[in-house]
Amino acid sequence: MKYRLQVEIEYLIALSKEPKIKELKSFSEKEITVARKLYQNFSDNDAKKVKQIEKRTDHDVKALEYFAKEELTRVLPESAFEFFHFALTSEDINNLAYAFALRDGLKVYSQNIQKLLSILGSMAKKFRSSSMLSLTHGQPATPTTLGKELAVFYFRLEIQRKKLNLIKLSGKFSGTTGNFAAHVLAYPNMDWVAFAKNFVEGLGLQYNFLTTQIEPHDISAEVFQTLIRINCIIRDLDQDMWLYVMRGVFRQKAVKGETGSSTMPHKINPRRFENSEGNIKIANGILGSLAENLTVSRMQRDLSDSTLIRNQGIAIGYSLLAVKSTFDGFGRLDFDKEKAMEELENNPEVITEAVQTILRKVGYPKPYEAMKKLSRGKKISLKDLQAFVRSLKIPQEEKKKLLALTPEKYTGLAAKLVRNIFKFKI
């Protein structure tokens, strides 16, 4: 309601400044200031008044128009009142109001995404050299570092955050079927297209020149689809953090007075990551429906989009809860380096990749098959692996390299990749 009122009043002020509209005198600075205060100070009580009027009108935008006229009766000249909502359709007001709401909601959401990025960035730098076991298909795989794995999520989120910030919301302001029919009939000598463009852009939105009665919501759909991608990345992060906790790579902090289970006293549950996942599922369900359906309308107008778009704030709200739950979850974790080392030491077979790669390099016959015979589906020790390497007839330099190798050291460029992420712009 507040944003609708803002559009109505700013439109009235803009009309008053048009010299070709002689029937509407230009407002004084005092009149403009008082008129703007009506939406700037819009309160819950004001909203209740509008709803009371709406019971009579059965029309939300018309109710707001009557409310504004009643409130400004003693402020503006009587000749001004019939220029409220002049030549407009409700969608001219609503599409701009919902764009304002989406824009302001995204500001809050983006601030919290930035906080999550800060947490991920700080941890990625701190743990860039902290070795840990990888799991591909749930099985032990070539080692990595904790910092590099967190940097992957930082990198993905930062790309999508930038894409979200580049989207400029659009608005239309061209009357009942987008043709300025009533405008031109009343004032044929005015450049209504230029007026509408200046008005919409003056409100901080991109002007949509060509529409039906409704703004087609294509740009809003782009926002919703980007939010879905961001939420999916966060859900992916939630699941990985949950699994790290399950493996013991992360310890959960025991907070005095808190209870993990109603019956199992020992438990500390990673519920914040689980809560985040749940909220994302709800948010993305709504966002997906909005993106898919808002862009479809029968002929020049039907009201299905009006019903749908009222839920954009709910979707952003659930998305916001998810982000907050995720960074709250991070605040309760400690990296268990000893556990990470234990996993690496218990899975020396992960460096068989390194051995067969060196054997390929030096021309050893069927190196992959040799390592497969030694290790596939078997539990081998580092000593077993080293004994195999000692038996090989390969250059001493390469043999020495392999004998010195441990899972902890076999992380390639992981630490350097993290440094590069924060050194160069994404």
Length of the chain equals: 426
Q: What is the pLDDT of residue 18?
A: 94
Which pTM does this prediction carry? 0.90
When mean pLDDT is compared over 53-62, 266-275, 279-288, 384-393, the highest value belongs to 279-288
Residue 269 has pLDDT above 80, yes or no: no
Q: What is the pLDDT of residue 367?
A: 83
Catalytic-role residue among 26, 79, 261, 304? 261
pLDDT, tens digit (0-9, with 9 covering 90-100), for 292-337: 998 888 888 887 888 889 999 999 999 999 999 999 999 888 999 9
What is the token pair recorded at 366?
Answer: 């069927």
Residue 286 has pLDDT above 80, yes or no: yes
Alpha-carbon gap, residue 405 to 398, rounded angstroms: 11
- 3-state DSSP call for residue 206? strand
Q: Judge whether 261 and 226 are in contact, CB under 8 Å.
A: no
Strand pairing category for 139-145 and 131-136: antiparallel
137 a catalytic residue: yes
Question: Mean pLDDT of all residues in the chain?
Answer: 91
Alpha-carbon gap, residue 237 to 117, rounded angstroms: 12
Q: What is the pLDDT of residue 259?
A: 61
Q: Judge whether 330 and 119 are in contact, CB under 8 Å.
A: yes
* pLDDT level of residue 423 (50, 70, 90 thresholds): confident
- 3-state DSSP call for residue 145? strand
- 3-state DSSP call for residue 152? helix
∠383-386-390 over CA atoms, to 5°?
135
Q: How many alpha carbons lie under 13 Å from residue 109 in its C-beta half-sphere?
A: 28
Distance of CA 143 to the CA centre of its chain: 30
59 a catalytic residue: no
Which residue carries 């078997």 as its tokens?
A: 378
Alpha-carbon gap, residue 147 to 138, rounded angstroms: 20
Domains present along the chain, CATH in parentheses: 2-86 (1.10.275.10), 92-337 (1.20.200.10), 347-423 (1.10.40.30)
Which residues lie below 8 Å from residue 72, measured CB to CB, with a gap of 6+? 34, 35, 38, 81
Alpha-carbon gap, residue 107 to 146, rounded angstroms: 30
Q: Judge whether 274 and 186 are in contact, CB under 8 Å.
A: no
Catalytic-role residue among 137, 262, 266, 391? 137
Segments of 183-309 assigned E as strands:
206-207, 250-252
pLDDT, tens digit (0-9, with 9 covering 90-100), for 144-193: 999 999 999 999 999 999 999 999 999 999 999 999 999 999 999 999 99
Residue 257 has pLDDT above 70, yes or no: no
Percentage helix, strand, coil for the chain under 3-state DSSP, each rounded to 5: 65, 5, 30
When mean pLDDT is compared over 125-139, 256-270, 374-388, the highest value belongs to 125-139
Q: Judge whether 84 and 12 are in contact, CB under 8 Å.
A: yes
Q: What is the pLDDT of residue 425?
A: 47
Distances (CA, A) of 349 to 139, 249, 359: 11, 20, 16
Residue 263 has pLDDT above 80, yes or no: no
